[in-house]
């Protein structure tokens, strides 16, 4: 698993005082509180933490822990290329990446991740136990177990995010959820595909969507991709060109023009503001 160690870090550490530490990976950090208590700060917003609490953090220096009781942390850090580079698993990278983009687009990092259902929290804990157990193993299947467990955790997170979004017309909510969770799969975003999948007339679909969304399907998908791009530019160190290609834009210049047109902002301003906030 040596090549995977460059893409993922798994660490258990006990701290009585928090100190900023270097994070070589450039994407998410999963944090599970094994023991202890204190206060967590994300983007200058605080909340208490206790054993069994679970957090998903972006690549950002703006988070810290005021440790009241010595705390044992489980950290899992990985890059966005982790699943793409796995050699011994049949995980569909495209599907996983769509889920990850969904999380990026709709998860409010400043609020942390709160599981209201203890079953979800327990399920995540069991998956983390598998990750911890397999991290130092050299068994042929260890890489697959870690990847499948991490993918399952992200699936739970994306599912819970979908559950917390506003409910309206049930069919329309299902359409929106499908679009959001398949935002990079262009073949699943066409009017022809969506109308067949949700049993609507092709001629009626455009009218139905605009009436419920207040904008056309094309406008909605474009806006959603741009929101994801903004969060990726803000919360990751991925090159602009890479972000643009992954979301269907021709290049970084094309993405920048779209950002300026729809939101009046550029990628350079977003990253400049983030650097200032981090310091």
Query: Averaged in consecutive runs of 10 residues, what is the pLDDT profile of the chain (279 residues)?
Result: 64 87 63 91 81 75 83 84 73 75 70 70 88 81 87 82 60 87 86 93 90 92 90 80 88 92 88 60
At residue 27, the pLDDT reads 61
Q: Assess whether 141 and 52 both reside in one domain.
A: yes
Q: What is the CA radius of gyration of the chain?
A: 20
* CA of residue 178 relative to chain centroid, distance: 16
Q: Which domain holds residue 189?
A: 170-278
Task: Give me the CATH number covering residue 257.
Answer: 1.10.10.60
Among 164, 182, 213, the domain boundary falls at 164
At residue 276, the pLDDT reads 47
With CA atoms as reference, report the closest residue to 53 among 143, 95, 113: 113
Token pair for 30: 């999963």
Q: Assess whether 201 and 155 both reside in one domain.
A: no
Q: Assess whether 155 and 212 both reside in one domain.
A: no
* Number of domains into which the chain is organized: 2
Q: Assess whether 134 and 179 both reside in one domain.
A: no
Instruction: Compute how many other C-beta atoms are within 10 angstroms of the C-beta atom of residue 131.
Output: 22
Q: Assess whether 7 and 122 both reside in one domain.
A: yes
At residue 169, the pLDDT reads 62
Instruction: Compute how many other C-beta atoms are within 10 angstroms of the C-beta atom of residue 78.
Output: 21
Q: What is the pLDDT of residues 50-93, one digit of tens each?
A: 888 888 776 555 678 899 999 999 988 877 777 777 776 777 77
Outline where the chain has alpha helix (H). 2-5, 93-106, 118-134, 142-164, 170-181, 191-197, 202-213, 217-235, 240-246, 252-263, 267-278
Q: What is the pLDDT of residues 44-53, one digit of tens each?
A: 778 888 888 8
Burial class of 100 by CB neighbour count within 10 A (0 to 12, 13 to 18, 19+): buried
* Eight-class DSSP state of 199: T
Output the pTM of the full model.
0.70
């Amino acid at each position: 698993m040596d090549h995977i160690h460059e893409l993922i870090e798994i660490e258990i550490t006990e701290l009585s005082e928090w100190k900023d530490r270097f994070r070589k990976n450039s994407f998410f950090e999963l944090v599970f509180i094994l023991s202890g208590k204190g206060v967590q700060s994300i983007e200058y917003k605080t909340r208490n933490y206790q054993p069994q609490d679970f957090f998903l953090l972006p690549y950002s220096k703006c988070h810290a822990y005021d440790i009241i009781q010595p705390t044992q942390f489980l950290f899992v850090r990985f890059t966005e290329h982790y699943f793409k580079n796995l050699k011994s698993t049949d995980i569909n990278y495209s599907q996983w990446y769509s889920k990850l983009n969904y999380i990026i687009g709709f998860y409010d990092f400043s609020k942390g991740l709160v599981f209201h259902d203890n079953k979800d929290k327990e399920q995540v804990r069991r998956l983390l136990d598998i990750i911890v157990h397999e991290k130092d193993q050299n068994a042929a299947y260890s890489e697959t177990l870690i990847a499948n467990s991490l993918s399952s955790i992200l699936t739970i997170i994306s599912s819970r995010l979908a559950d917390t979004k506003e409910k309206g017309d049930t069919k329309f909510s299902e359409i929106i959820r499908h679009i959001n969770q398949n935002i990079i799969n262009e073949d699943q975003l066409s009017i022809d595909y969506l109308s067949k999948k949700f049993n609507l007339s092709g001629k009626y679909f455009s009218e139905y969507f605009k009436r419920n969304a207040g904008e056309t399907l094309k406008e909605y998908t474009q806006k959603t991709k741009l929101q994801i791009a903004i969060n990726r530019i803000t919360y990751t160190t991925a090159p602009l060109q890479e972000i643009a290609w992954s979301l269907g834009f021709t290049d970084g210049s094309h993405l920048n023009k779209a950002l300026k047109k729809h939101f009046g902002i550029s990628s350079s301003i977003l990253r400049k503001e983030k650097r200032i906030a981090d310091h």
